[in-house]
Amino acid sequence: MNNTSPFDVIIVGSGAGGSAAAYGLTQAGYNVLMLEAGPRFNPATDYPLSNADWELSRFPLKPGSQGQYTFAPMQKLEPRWQHLRSKNTINGYLSNQETRIPSDAGYHHVRGLGGSTLQFTGESHRLHQDAMNMHSRFNVAADWPLSYQDLMPYYNQAEKLIGVAGDTHIVGRDYTGASLLPPHPFADTSRILQRGAAKLGLHWQANNRAALSHSYDGRPSCNYCHNCNRGCPRGDKGSADVTFIRRASLTNRLTIKTDLSVIKLENDGNQKISGVICGNHAGQRFSFSAPIIILACGAIETPRLLLNSADTHSPEGLGNESGQVGQHFMETLSWTLTGMSDAPLQTFKGLPADGICWDFNAPDSIPNIIGGCRFSSTTAEADLSGPVNYARRLVAGWGAEFKASMRQQFGQAVSVGAIGESLPNAGSFIDLDATTQDEHGLALAQIHSFLPDTELKRLEFMAQQCSNILQASGITEIVESYGSYDLFSSTHVFGTCRMGYDPLTSVTNPVGRSHRWQNLYICDASLFPSSGGGESPSLTIEALALRMASSL
Ligand SMILES: Cc1cc2nc3c(=O)[nH]c(=O)nc-3n(C[C@H](O)[C@H](O)[C@H](O)COP(=O)(O)OP(=O)(O)OC[C@H]3O[C@@H](n4cnc5c(N)ncnc54)[C@H](O)[C@@H]3O)c2cc1C
Ligand code: SF4
């Protein structure tokens, strides 16, 4: 291609995948243009955890920092799964609908420079090796077209760059060559849960965390404020903006344009994407071109962009010749259980998700159920870091009696959470909502989500184990339980542009290049052929992006 553009590569989206690709490519000497729909966030000024009203919102909102989505009608709830309904002490059932509904959070990923990693907790997991061959072993999902060993050098590279703190002895993973920071000490929630897990013969170990246990790479260590999901004001959490993007910018080969959405990919009618068209909030249009185009908009927005880029050469959407774009959507299968301890504790502080149990993570470790799961300390992710949420959800009463209860109980909520494998099914996919458009006149992504019995059985196991762990930890007063059965609330989403060898069953080849368009790559969560047994995905997305950059 005759390139008159100053850029070698355009990356669309700056989250886990886009930022790691930008890092890898700028290190290799490429001039990269990064286009991001959302705004910039400044950790020092935008995450004001010292304000009096700090607890009232989770991650701060800015113009353009929230994506728009719609949901197709969801499945009917059934009496036989009644025990999986979400509820708490104050409100009773959290939904009074007869069907599953999106929770208040719904699909709540941040648009901004750094993408969803700005808001993420920062768990940094490698996939269990056995979770990468789900089709050949169990005839579900699809096999990864690469092995754990193929990813290993890139896992090592990403962890080192981020400054991941944690443990290298985790069942199902080879950490040869890894260089992690020392693990963080357990806060109260994990100390309590570790005792309970031990009574059940389970292993509660340090979770691998993108949070610095000592100062590193010019960033300070964590101060254990418990609020990673509100944005880390110290910049020690390994979000993409302060790690990959900062390091890529130091090369002077990265040009970043924020508040600019790519609204269409243009093609030459043959094998190449010729450029991208963008729009800003003022309605202006811009176009850019480069020899290589990389999509990293996440598992909802990447298929949306491909489908919205349909034209006479690709009437069903770009790269969608075999109808695979948007298919095999996998969501977070999750359960959270909270109990109130009798002992005086301070569970409102410490590093979120500092402890984890991997004992049921292998895909064949849950009796009679395919697909694994994991358990972790989730008091912070349950947003029990301040008094307002205690009063709204957990502690009943009025006046003097209520004040006394709050004084007695604040700091004593202990939450254990589980995340499990999410297997693709025909009822879960992303398509375009023909009736609703964004500010650029483009159809929104519509989320179709369905949980078959196989998923609900895994969820039931996760709920039962959470209960066992809390009880063994000496906590019998249950105050809240919620999960995926009646509320869609997906923090991890995957699988809508699956990678593979066969163009009939996948969208890209094993490095993420479109089977049809020779200069179009994808490097985000949409590539995943299977979800893993509850592993958090960002580190794997970053490793895939570094591998893709290396192949280029
Ligand atoms: C509350 C919460 C907690 C989480 N905790 C963890 C955790 O502990 N560990 C973990 O590994 N993962 C966690 N995750 C998930 C993790 O953040 C995501 O899986 C990961 O960031 C996905 O990376 P991505 O590159 O696929 O997409 P994203 O990080 O979502 O990035 C996509 C980017 O593309 C931009 N974009 C979209 N469309 C366009 C367009 N048309 N033009 C230009 N830009 C566009 C978006 O604005 C966004 O910035 C969490 C998520 C949430 C919401
Ligand atoms: S707990 Fe640590 S990593 Fe999380 S926001 Fe606070 S200082 Fe940052």
Nearest-CA residue for ligand 2 atom 7 is 222
User: Which atom in ligand 2 lies closest to the alpha carbon of residue 231?
Assistant: 5
CA–CA distance, 91 with 113 (Å, rounded to integer): 37
User: What is the distance in A from the centroid of ligand 1 to the CA of 65?
Assistant: 12
Which range, of 42-51, 84-93, 216-225, 405-414, averages the lowest pLDDT? 42-51
User: What is the distance in A from the centroid of ligand 2 to the CA of 228?
Assistant: 5
CA–CA distance, 530 with 532 (Å, rounded to integer): 6
Q: Tell which residue, 300, 362, 357, has the closest CA to residue 127.
A: 362
Q: Does the structure show a pLDDT above 50 at 422?
A: yes
Q: 16: part of which helix (H) or strand (E)?
A: helix 16-27
- Per-residue pLDDT, 50: 87
Binned at pLDDT 50, 70 and 90, residue 37 comes out as very high
* 426 burial level (CB within 10 Å; 0-12, 13-18, 19+): exposed
User: What is the distance in A from the centroid of ligand 1 to the CA of 483?
Assistant: 21
CATH number at 9-49+71-175+185-551: 3.50.50.60
Q: How confident is the model over 126-146, as a mean pLDDT?
A: 97
Q: What separation in angstroms does the CA of 46 have from each of 62, 295, 383, 485? A: 9, 27, 19, 34
**What is the DSSP secondary structure assignment for residue 219, as one 8-state letter?**
B
* 257 burial level (CB within 10 Å; 0-12, 13-18, 19+): middle
Note if the pTM is more than 0.85.
yes
Q: Does the structure show a pLDDT above 60 at 2?
A: no
Binned at pLDDT 50, 70 and 90, residue 440 comes out as very high
* 291 burial level (CB within 10 Å; 0-12, 13-18, 19+): middle
- Per-residue pLDDT, 106: 67
Binned at pLDDT 50, 70 and 90, residue 378 comes out as very high
Instruction: Give the three-state DSSP class for 528.
Output: coil
Residue ranges of domains in the chain? 9-49+71-175+185-551
- Per-residue pLDDT, 1: 39
Q: Is 223 in the pocket of ligand 2 (CB under 6 A)?
A: yes
Q: How confident is the model over 388-408, as a mean pLDDT?
A: 95
Give me the DSSP letters along 535-547: --SHHHHHHHHHH
- Per-residue pLDDT, 57: 84
Say if CB 8 and CB 290 are below 8 A apart.
yes
- Per-residue pLDDT, 3: 56
Nearest-CA residue for ligand 1 atom 28 is 15
Write the pLDDT tens digit of every residue in 490-528.
899 999 999 999 999 999 999 999 999 999 999 999 999
Q: Is 120 in the pocket of ligand 1 (CB under 6 A)?
A: yes
Write the pLDDT tens digit of every residue in 197-230.
999 999 999 999 999 999 999 999 999 999 999 9
Give me the DSSP letters along 107-122: S-PBPSTTGGGGT---
User: What is the distance in A from the centroid of ligand 2 to the CA of 172?
Assistant: 28
- Per-residue pLDDT, 230: 96
Q: Is 292 in the pocket of ligand 1 (CB under 6 A)?
A: no
Binned at pLDDT 50, 70 and 90, residue 436 comes out as very high
Q: Is 108 in the pocket of ligand 2 (CB under 6 A)?
A: no
Q: Does the structure show a pLDDT above 60 at 540?
A: yes
Q: How confident is the model over 338-363, as a mean pLDDT?
A: 97
CA–CA distance, 531 with 108 (Å, rounded to integer): 19
Q: Does the structure show a pLDDT above 90 at 291?
A: yes
User: What is the distance in A from the centroid of ligand 2 to the CA of 233?
Assistant: 7
CA–CA distance, 67 with 64 (Å, rounded to integer): 7
The rounded percent of the chain whose pLDDT value lies above 90 is: 95
Mean pLDDT taken over the chain: 96
- Per-residue pLDDT, 108: 75
Q: Tell which residue, 320, 277, 325, has the closest CA to residue 303.
A: 325
Give me the DSSP letters along 474-527: T--EEEEEEETTTEE--S--B-TT-B-S-TTT-SB-TTSBBSS-TTEEE-SGGG
Q: Does the structure show a pLDDT above 60 at 36?
A: yes
Give me the DSSP letters along 29-66: T--EEEE-SS----HHHH--TTSTTGGG-SSPP-TT-B
Q: Does the structure show a pLDDT above 60 at 237?
A: yes
Q: Tell which residue, 384, 477, 468, 452, has the closest CA to residue 418.
A: 468
Structure tokens at 74: 């969801």
Question: Who's near 352: CB < 8 A, 6+ residues apart?
Answer: 121, 122, 226, 227, 228, 229, 377, 378, 379, 380, 381
User: What is the distance in A from the centroid of ligand 2 to the CA of 107?
Assistant: 23
Q: Does the structure show a pLDDT above 60 at 365?
A: yes
Q: Which ligand is nearest to the CA of 213?
A: 2
